[in-house]
Amino acid sequence: EFDELPVNEIEIAFALNSSVTHVNINEIMVLAKEVENPEPVTAFESYSYTEPQIGEVMSYADSVNVGTVGGFNTTWGFGDLANDDGSDEAYIENTAPGDQEAYFKGAEGRYFYLEAEMTITEDKPYLMRNDTQEMYPKFGLTLSSPTGSTFFYIDSAYNGGFSNQAVGYTQRTADNSDYDWTNTEQLIRVPGLTYTGGNYAKLAVAKVDSTYYFFVNDALVATARNLRGLNGENVVGGFRVFNMGVRVQKYSAISGQEAVQSKIAALGVTD
């Protein structure tokens, strides 16, 4: 309906405190970009709207292996999860800018192992909110709880292409307000790492109580203990991406102490 407006979805979110029980929105107005000599609107689609009941809960996509886990929701960039069908060919794909997350069922608790293969599907990152090019796009696995999060990612970078051969992980700040890149980021070189042109890189993370093991293509690359906010049972695992198109396939989760320890032993973990 709007000339040159490159928007196909608008999401509005409110964080309510204890003194505000509900919010009622009477009108939402969207203004298009002003341009010289705009082309006339030649067609209109029918539009209808039914005001929901106050207090109605927003719905999130939920499917066979991906969806809402431990109170964490898969975000809108992954669409309706129609291809998460439980088959060997199942996949999920992010097609939206910003910080997008998808959570995997079974990857939660004190002991779990999560693995997934992933590849970039676009030639360049998406634009950021200020319409500048994202130069530091990242994608990988996320560990989340109500009090903390750690992001284990492929540090793809961008300099006319994606060729950086490195992974890293970083924790959230103590107040869980943002990622603490300056004080907690750890980078690891992975020679030969590829994740473009249909090539997939495999990331995995194992949670064994308060110890975490990070794997790239089935090789252990880092071990961390007592990550901020991630020592309890209310930890869930998922996928996170910053500003880029990514497809994720062959994802699976293992839970339970014996099963997880058996899996990481097969990958060479001895402690």
pLDDT at 265 exceeding the cut of 80: yes
60 inside domain: no
34 inside domain: no
pLDDT at 70: 94
* Secondary structure (3-state) at 247: strand
8 inside domain: no
9 inside domain: no
CA pair distance 201, 84, nearest whole angstrom: 19
pTM listed for this prediction: 0.79
CA pair distance 230, 253, nearest whole angstrom: 18
104 inside domain: yes
Question: pLDDT tens digit string along 231-245?
Answer: 989 999 999 999 999
**Structural domain tally of the chain?**
1
Domain interval for residue 85: 66-266
CA pair distance 258, 121, nearest whole angstrom: 37
Put the strands of the sheet holding 246-255 in their side by side order.
91-94, 246-255, 111-120, 201-208, 211-216, 219-225
221 inside domain: yes
Q: What is the CATH number of the domain that holds 115?
A: 2.60.120.560
pLDDT at 52: 61
Average pLDDT over residues 106-124: 97
Question: pLDDT tens digit string along 49-68?
Answer: 666 666 655 678 999 999 99
90 inside domain: yes
165 inside domain: yes
